[in-house]
A and B are shown apart, each in its own frame.
Chain A
Amino acid sequence: MMWVTWRQFRPQAVTAAAVLGLAAVLLAVTAPHLVDLYNSAGFNACHAACGHVASNFLTAIGSPYRAMFEAFIVVMYLVPTLVGIFWGAPLIARELETGTHRLAWNQSVSRTRWTAIKLGLIGLCAIATAGLLSLMISWWASPIDSAMNFGQPNSGSGFPRINPLVFATRGVAPLGYAAFAFALGVTAGVLIRKTLPAMAVTLAIFAAVQFLVPNFVRPHLIPPVQVTAPLNAYDASELMIGVPGNHMTVVGNFSQPGVWLLSNQTITPTGQPFTGPAGPACQGNSSPNACNDWVNSLHLRQLVSYQPASRFWPLQFIETGIYLGLAAGLGLLCVWSIRRRRS
């Protein structure tokens, strides 16, 4: 049964191997130069304000490497999606659609074993492919990731690793996504029984999950760190007065490198969000200092919620565990569904 699974999977395996090979070559060729640039940037010398060194480095690497960096992010988003659509959805749907299941299920192998081996073997290949790519890309990008970790959340110098955009493309998370997308595809194929609709449904559901998890689930996997501090208007990162002047927002500065900022609220002493109105000191032709002094007199406070950079790996492991659990559950659902007689 192993041979049969492998033989049917061979074309996809070859494609995956080619992609991995290509990626490996590209990464291996360009990595040493990147490492050199990093080592000569002066990170070992800086102690406190390394943000400056970091942004210099990120400019120095030039646009080809930055383009590669962004391209690899796209690739790592694509890989689990494509695995789900092209490895998962057709796996059993194609057999049901072409009737070959009537050939396969009447050999001397039970349906449970048939399903379990297909799911297991190809699922492992999916995880391995995503894992290897993630390993290679994370390793290649580590100079850039380190530099970005020195950056400020809103500094515009890129995205620290824990930021949702990059988080999904590093570490072990892609393994969970690949396993889940694969299992989702196979399940869709088993339930819908036609390949193309199963592919479409897999894409839709996977995309929805990948949108919902970073926005609504991941922030709460570990309770975020909450800090409150007095707001200094002179330090504010943002001060906006709406026309005709009833509405005003102030956003305090928050500078901790490499964090994932979840929310940054400005609240009044009574605990309500501060929305204005703008006092006379902030209207008309008054000077900025006058306005800042008036704001400070309001004794506003800054309420910040965030995940620190140190939580990158814990979040990775928890999230991957959840996705792997979902994948296993879907796998069991597939096996159960196929055991129920269907012609």
Chain B
Amino acid sequence: MTAAIEASGLGKKYGRHWALSDCTLSIPVGRVVGLVGPNGAGKTTLLNLATGMLAPSSGTIRVLGGAPGSGPGQLAKVGYVAQDAPIYAGLSVADHLRLGAHMNPGWDMALAAGRIRQLGLALKQKAGTLSGGQRAQLALTLAIAKRPELLILDEPIASLDPLARREFLQVLMETTAESEVSVVMSSHLVADLERISEYLVVLVDSRVQLAGQVDELLASHQLLTGARRDPATLPASQRVISASHTDRQSTILVRSDEPVLDPSWSVDQIDLEDLVLAYMGQARTSRPDVSDEFGTKILEEKR
């Protein structure tokens, strides 16, 4: 089965700085995939490589089996909304729909017009006078109405108010329910992605830290609380992701395929936001001078 996005050793360098390095991913089709990470982690770089806006410095990437951005056929398969949803300020809403119709052979004008009606946007209104939420919705409509196989959304709602964010996600979910389209959406808000995605990719410091189905990820990570203990003493099947210690107690996040049966631990599930934060913290503090006496990596105090 063709993957929506297939990357192998993918990297992008600007001067001396690697914006993305050693990225190997196989994102499945037909899913809603969340791409999460702090600002500057490489999310936009990855999505730009996927749409053909950038060329890789190393490695390869294939989107729906084809090279990104290579010709009208490939372009028609992918719908894209860039960060902050750029639109032509001087053109009206109706002009944008006509633009879509003229530039996309697969354009579905009935769908586009229907969406605009549902959103309550005035056709004659100049797009420059729309609110942030309305612009995001217009950009999403343009991406959806070309009937792509894959929607790539680069932090489309980052600067919107909660209501506009919710409305955008509602439209996105309705669309996913109606058609077979795959979605890859990046955000730094885990809560939004938790609602909508079934597959998650965590990107921190230009590298992929975690990737997989959300319920599998949640099931395979356990938070162990118990008496203070060196994480190195845990069995090899339990991969330590992060550990924090007080003088008496240790709290350790492990990844394990089997359930943890050691009675000396109290085992809890962890929610997605904390899981992502743990991986972000692990990537950030991988500096030798920050370890404690056990030589483990210290998790930053969660506030």
Contacts and interface: CB of A to CB of B under 8 A. Distances in A.
**Complex contact flag A–B (Cβ < 8 Å):** yes
Nearest to A111: B69
Contact of A98 (B78, B86, B102): B86
B213 to A, nearest CB: 28
A216 interface: no
Interface residues of A, number: 24
B142 to A, nearest CB: 7
Contacts of A11: 90
A3 B52 contact: no
A287 interface: no
A310 interface: no
Given A102-B80, A341-B53, A342-B53, A107 B95 contact: no
Contact of B103 (A1, A340, A341): A1
B101 to A, nearest CB: 9
Interface string A99-143: 110111111111001000000000000000000000000000000
A7 B86 contact: no
B25 interface: no
Nearest to B102: A3
A2 B99 CA distance: 10
A343 B99 contact: no
Contact of B86 (A2, A102, A109): A102
Interface centre among B71, B82, B84, B139 (most CB of A within 10 A): B82
Contacts of A110: 71-72, 75
Given A102-B53, A108-B106, A8 B100 contact: no
B265 to A, nearest CB: 47
Nearest to A11: B90
B78 A106 contact: yes
Contacts of B88: 8, 100, 103
A4 interface: yes
Interface in B53-109: 53-55, 69, 71-72, 75-76, 78-80, 82, 84, 86-91, 95, 98-100, 102-106
Interface string B136-165: 000100100010000000000000000000
Contact of B75 (A8, A109, A341): A109
B51 interface: yes
B72 to A, nearest CB: 5
B51 A107 contact: no
Nearest to A112: B71
Contact of A3 (B48, B54, B80, B98): B98
Contact of A106 (B51, B55, B87, B90): B51
Nearest to A107: B103
B75 A107 contact: yes
A1 B75 CA distance: 15
B87 A100 contact: yes
B149 to A, nearest CB: 13
Interface in A66-119: 98-100, 102-110, 113
Contacts of A105: 53, 69
B280 to A, nearest CB: 25
A300 B123 CA distance: 82
Interface in B218-264: none
Contact of B139 (A4, A103, A108): A103
A340 B53 CA distance: 9
Given A7-B95, A7-B99, A108 B86 contact: no
Contacts of A100: 86-88
Given A7-B95, A100-B86, A341-B53, A106 B80 contact: yes
A343 B54 contact: yes
Contact of A341 (B54, B87, B98): B54
A99 B146 CA distance: 20
B279 to A, nearest CB: 27
Interface of A: 1-4, 7-8, 11, 98-100, 102-110, 113, 340-343
14 contacts: A4-B99, A7-B91, A8-B88, A8-B91, A102-B53, A103-B87, A103-B142, A106-B79, A108-B72, A108-B76, A108-B146, A113-B72, A341-B53, A341-B54
> Which 3 residue pairs are nearest across A and B when measured between Cβ atoms?
A107-B103, A102-B82, A99-B86
